[in-house]
């Protein structure tokens, strides 16, 4: 398992990449250009790193598919429905609280190591994590108390169980974000795979041993995630903390992290509404039968593209942010953006190949992977593949925008496209039925891609030079403004 060891030598902390071969008779070190993101690796090592990320994502998806099968064997349909509804509440909390904190950890870990302020950075991160836990429990406890007072004890217990699961799952994903930023690819892949499989096995196991209820399944999933997180906590100790006597106050890092993560929390609720609106629209204007048919096609077309996009982002994000650093060096910034473009266009070709495969073999793919009762919408598979591909490409472009201009720069695109998606999905199903939804999905995804591409054009990412600043402003423009 690759990792990083660090030697503390006055006057500066010099991080050394333990997993790299020696160069010219000495250790190949991460220099002042940044932490792991700036280490130049061979193409073979880079593709090996990406393969670890992709393998972890595939194994995670297989765990989720198998787990759903296990849990549906134990829980009756009504309880399974309650469990999935409760899980949507957990996902909303993740979007608003823990996911933004994880994004901030991925963005600034390399900068904190480079500036030798990692100890204060982790202290600030821990403070915000505790505040997030208090917020989740503080919201869930009154809700559960109100439900209990109204005689809804079962729902009250489910709310409490969901809040506990949300806290444990959120902290586990935060640790994964730190490991991802450190480029511990194999560790992240193993942790995510083990957690996903144990989560579903734990939920089904406790529901089978105790009682077939949604609350029992939620507590089982919580215990499994908690068990799988022990290794995550131990791995953080491998980070290169500076000596305590040289540690700085964590206040500046708290403020910097808050400024960065607040836009994520702002658009999180809109993103959640956009991703859930397709199924809710079908449930409202069509039927649960149509929801089932669409969900199968969604899993076969849209979900694999998003999974591939997540793998690319997990590989690309830490390297890009490490090369950017704090964004103060124009030449370093330009070099990082050129590297980002060199990865983006192969991703376009990869997604285009997937779409061509879906276009030519939609019928056989659905016939092989779905039961006969679920093949009615097979012709719509290329549309959902296109939607997932376009959305994932927009997410890849968004990484460059975040790295150069900050997370707030994405607010218009995220919120605007999420509102458009909700309106388009409900309108399409209302006036054209499920077929209308299949057409609306790639259109709204294309709008998101165009919005992020337009922002990249404005800040001159495509033609970035050493004259560019993090704000996209050139020296000439600054002289005119002065």
* Chain segment 55-101, per-residue pLDDT in tens: 766 777 677 666 666 776 777 766 766 776 777 778 888 888 888 88
Among 256-270, 320-334, 402-416, which stretch is predicted with the lowest mean pLDDT? 320-334
- Calculate mean pLDDT across residues 97-121: 84
9 φ/ψ angles, rounded to the nearest 5 degrees: -125, 130
What pLDDT is attached to residue 459? 65
What pLDDT is attached to residue 460? 58
**Distance in angstroms (rounded) separating the CA atoms of residues 464 and 165:** 44
Question: pLDDT class for 328, splitting at 50, 70, 90?
Answer: low
What pLDDT is attached to residue 177? 86
What pLDDT is attached to residue 74? 79
pLDDT exceeds 80 at position 5: no
3-state secondary structure (DSSP) of residue 21 = coil
**Distance in angstroms (rounded) separating the CA atoms of residues 444 and 180:** 30
What pLDDT is attached to residue 387? 94
User: How much is the mean pLDDT over the chain?
Assistant: 76
DSSP assignment of 311-359 equals HHHHHHHHHHHHHHTTS--HHHHHHHHHHHHHHHHHHHHHHHHHHHHHH
In sequence order, which residues have a C-beta less than 8 Å from that of residue 309 and are 6 or more positions away?
Answer: 347, 388, 389, 391, 392, 393, 395, 396
Question: pLDDT class for 14, splitting at 50, 70, 90?
Answer: very low
What pLDDT is attached to residue 9? 32
Cis peptide before 62 (omega within 30 of 0): no
What pLDDT is attached to residue 461? 46
Name which residue leads in pLDDT, 308 or 236. Answer: 308
pLDDT exceeds 70 at position 23: no
pLDDT exceeds 80 at position 288: no
Q: Which residues is 29 bridged to in the sheet?
A: 16
Name which residue leads in pLDDT, 181 or 129. Answer: 129
Question: pLDDT class for 135, splitting at 50, 70, 90?
Answer: very high
Among 33-47, 379-393, 453-467, which stretch is predicted with the lowest mean pLDDT? 33-47
Helix, strand, coil percentages (3-state) for the chain, rounded to 5, are 80, 5, 15
Torsion angle (degrees, nearest 10) of CA 226, 228, 231, 235: -80
What pLDDT is attached to residue 273? 81
Name which residue leads in pLDDT, 464 or 364. Answer: 364
Q: Which helix (H) or strand (E) holds 23?
A: none
What pLDDT is attached to residue 264? 80
Taking the whole predicted model, whether its pTM rises above 0.75 is answered as no
3-state secondary structure (DSSP) of residue 381 = helix
Q: Which helix (H) or strand (E) holds 135?
A: helix 118-149
């Amino acid at each position: 398992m690759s990792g990083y060891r660090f030697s503390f030598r006055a006057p500066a902390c010099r991080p050394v990449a333990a997993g790299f071969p020696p160069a010219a008779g000495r250790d190949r070190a991460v220099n002042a250009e940044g932490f792991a993101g700036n280490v130049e690796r061979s193409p073979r090592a880079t593709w090996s790193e990406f393969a670890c990320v992709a393998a972890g994502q595939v194994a995670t998806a297989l765990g989720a598919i198998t787990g759903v099968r296990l849990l549906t064997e134990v829980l009756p349909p009504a309880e399974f429905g309650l469990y999935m509804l409760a899980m949507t509440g957990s996902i909303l909390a993740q979007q608003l609280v823990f996911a933004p904190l994880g994004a901030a950890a991925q963005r600034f870990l390399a900068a904190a190591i480079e500036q030798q302020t990692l100890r204060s950075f982790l202290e600030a991160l821990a403070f915000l994590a505790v505040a997030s836990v208090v917020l989740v429990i503080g919201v869930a406890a009154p809700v559960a108390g109100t439900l209990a007072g109204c005689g809804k004890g079962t729902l009250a217990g489910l709310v409490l169980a969901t809040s506990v699961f949300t806290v444990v799952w959120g902290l586990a994903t935060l640790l994964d974000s730190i490991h991802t930023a450190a480029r511990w690819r194999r560790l992240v892949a193993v942790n995510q795979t083990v957690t996903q499989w144990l989560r579903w096995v734990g939920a089904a196991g406790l529901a089978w041993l105790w009682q077939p209820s949604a609350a029992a399944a939620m507590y089982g999933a919580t215990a499994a995630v908690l068990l799988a997180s022990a290794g995550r906590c131990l791995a953080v100790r491998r980070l290169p903390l500076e000596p305590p006597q040289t540690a700085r106050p964590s206040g500046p890092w708290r403020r910097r992290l808050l400024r960065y993560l607040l836009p994520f929390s702002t658009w999180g609720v809109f993103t959640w509404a956009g991703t859930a609106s397709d199924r809710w629209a079908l449930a409202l204007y069509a039927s649960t039968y149509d929801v089932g048919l669409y969900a199968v096609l969604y899993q076969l077309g849209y979900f694999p593209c998003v999974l591939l996009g997540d793998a690319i982002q997990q590989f690309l994000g830490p390297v890009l942010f490490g090369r950017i650093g704090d964004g103060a060096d124009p030449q370093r910034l330009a070099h990082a953006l050129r590297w980002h473009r060199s990865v983006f266009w192969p991703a376009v070709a990869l997604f285009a190949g997937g779409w061509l495969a879906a276009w030519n073999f939609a019928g056989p793919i659905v016939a092989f992977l779905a039961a006969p009762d679920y093949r009615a919408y097979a012709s719509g598979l290329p549309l959902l593949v296109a939607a997932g591909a376009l959305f994932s490409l927009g997410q890849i472009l968004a990484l460059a925008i975040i790295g150069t201009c900050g997370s707030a720069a994405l607010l218009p695109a995220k919120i605007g496209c999420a509102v458009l998606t909700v309106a388009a999905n409900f309108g399409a199903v209302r006036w054209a039925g499920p077929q209308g939804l299949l057409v609306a999905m790639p259109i709204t995804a294309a709008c998101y891609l165009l919005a992020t591409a337009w922002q990249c054009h404005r800040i001159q990412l495509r033609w970035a030079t050493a004259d560019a600043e993090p704000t996209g402003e050139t020296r000439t423009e600054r002289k005119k403004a002065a």
